[in-house]
A and B are shown apart, each in its own frame.
Chain A
């Protein structure tokens, strides 16, 4: 249905939602096409997802092995099937909405490697300003051409991007615990 989108890679439908994957280089053209031709005049949200280590977590609970039963660390992830591999490390999702007579939603998706930039969509939807700053601040997605790209939720001198999967947890030493 959305094959005419510039940079079109694939279209998926799952749980009643349509996802259109485009080439990162043509994201702005794709956005402009969806806004002007398809009526998606409203950008709800921008969500960046880090897929580092996707499908590599262990199995939880009792599992049968050749050597007998084995109890793994509780609360680790478990699978019946290994999830489908992802093309690159980061996905950036643009949730679009059409505020018209025929309300529809679509998810515009681009895939990025670490450090790979993606162009800003502020010229298409001005509301992208803070969403893109958040994606940079928390996930480290490099937004190219953003007029005011600085941290938004964290301190200006913060190091790293906490929502990445390789960001260390529990980094703050507990006082009087001998860890300081």
Chain B
């Protein structure tokens, strides 16, 4: 291996496997290179502007070549799962959103959905469609944050301003519905916390009419941009077999040519009733991941439009299940009904009880398969909650993707895996 031969721009995807052995997540410098005495070990992060949070990479450099890499995580560990064991079921809902603070609605839904699966609760259609709508808006939001920050790290600062302009519109929509811009806690076990406010549909229509033009703008800036192509094409390669072996999901998996999307293969919410395409690119490089993100945003806009079509005809329908053992009674009943007052008091103080059992509920979050394992002993608090965090898994591919990379490409490659460190460390 020489210091000059490793620039791989435009390289095609490799055959077979490149996963390092015996430790799949650590790339070791070959002994021959180590023996030259020119290998320098540097510490990249945990406080570095381009690590999307607090990721630490221990990098072996031979000239500009990255010969070894090991990711060190845990700087944001806050013990969410332990905390949730101490809270009643409905108080837990605020925690999952804070795990991945960029795709909060999806995280909120995966926990609520898991508990509903244990409870065998039927959700009214209005709540199902609204949840689908918000999850898709949230997907666009998450992809915009990814696009803005990843492009920023590669020097395309204008991209950041454009992406955050539209992100602001989405956060305004969230604020209109829920009262909060982020961490909305709008999904309640059984449905939605409140009815959809008047004026939301026209505002959301304005956004869906505008968004395709904005995506056209982004593509004009980047898709055929020579600098962008040189910084992304043929870099961070991951073959389909390696992506599956390393547990990759979401855009990373689809950019490696695997046609897999939980919204289509194991539909949840209203996804079996909406029409959307799943973008797949076979190149397995950073550029393919960029293309997947862009196309997914277009598809999400289409899904949001279809949800709006349905929701606009559902005026006056219930937005939460009518199971008084689980769902809070309507506010106005508390003044007239003793029974409602008792239910309200019991749910708020003790919490409701969830039948004994264990479930694993998985959905397609913007970053891939997020799963929620929930175990109940029949009491008012979870016995164990565990999240399968797609970012945590994505970072395991760092060593494989960094094979033959240069130090400057490392930022593009780590960025393309779309990790949120809050979710990695939980």
Contact = CB atoms under 8 A, between A and B. Distances in A.
A80 B392 contact: no
A74 B351 CA distance: 10
Contacts of A61: 346, 350
A93 B357 CA distance: 14
Contacts of B23: 129, 147-148
Contacts of A97: 362, 369
A49 to B, nearest CB: 5
A2 interface: no
A127 B82 contact: no
Contacts of B353: 78, 80
Contacts of A41: 244-245
Count class of interface residues, chain A: 35 or more
B36 to A, nearest CB: 25
A78 B380 contact: yes
Interface in B243-259: 244-247, 258
Interface in A121-171: 122, 125-127, 129-130, 138, 147-148, 151-155, 162-163, 169
Interface in B354-412: 356-360, 362, 369, 371, 373, 375, 377-381, 383-384, 386, 388, 392-393, 395-396
B79 interface: yes
Contacts of B351: 75
Contact of A15 (B265, B357, B362, B369): B357
A36 B393 CA distance: 22
Contacts of B362: 44, 97, 105
Contacts of B25: 129-130, 148
A17 B372 CA distance: 14
A105 B377 contact: no
Contact of B79 (A57, A105, A162): A162
Given A42-B244, A148-B23, A99 B384 contact: no
B222 interface: no
A77 B388 contact: no
Contacts of A122: 22, 24
Contacts of B260: 99
Nearest to B253: A99
Contact of B350 (A17, A47, A75, A81): A75
B26 A152 contact: no
Given A83-B377, A99-B244, A17 B360 contact: yes
A14 interface: yes
A127 B375 CA distance: 23
A32 interface: no
A60 B350 contact: yes
A153 B73 contact: yes
A122 to B, nearest CB: 7
B176 interface: no
Nearest to A49: B384
Nearest to A59: B379
A63 B41 CA distance: 64
Contacts of A138: 81
A42 B346 contact: no
B282 to A, nearest CB: 16
A49 B373 CA distance: 10
Interface in A15-65: 15-17, 19, 41-45, 47, 49-51, 54-55, 57, 60-61
Given A61-B350, A152-B73, A169-B86, A80 B378 contact: yes
Contacts of A68: none
Contacts of A129: 23-25, 396
B74 interface: yes
B296 interface: no
A74 B373 contact: no
Given A127-B24, A129-B25, A130-B392, A77 B371 contact: no
A50 B117 CA distance: 22
Interface in B217-266: 244-247, 258, 260, 265-266
21 contacts: A14-B357, A17-B359, A41-B244, A44-B388, A45-B373, A47-B373, A47-B386, A49-B383, A74-B349, A75-B380, A77-B377, A81-B356, A81-B378, A95-B360, A95-B371, A126-B19, A129-B24, A129-B25, A130-B392, A130-B395, A154-B77
Interface of A: 14-17, 19, 41-45, 47, 49-51, 54-55, 57, 60-61, 74-75, 77-81, 83-84, 93, 95, 97, 99, 103, 105, 107, 122, 125-127, 129-130, 138, 147-148, 151-155, 162-163, 169
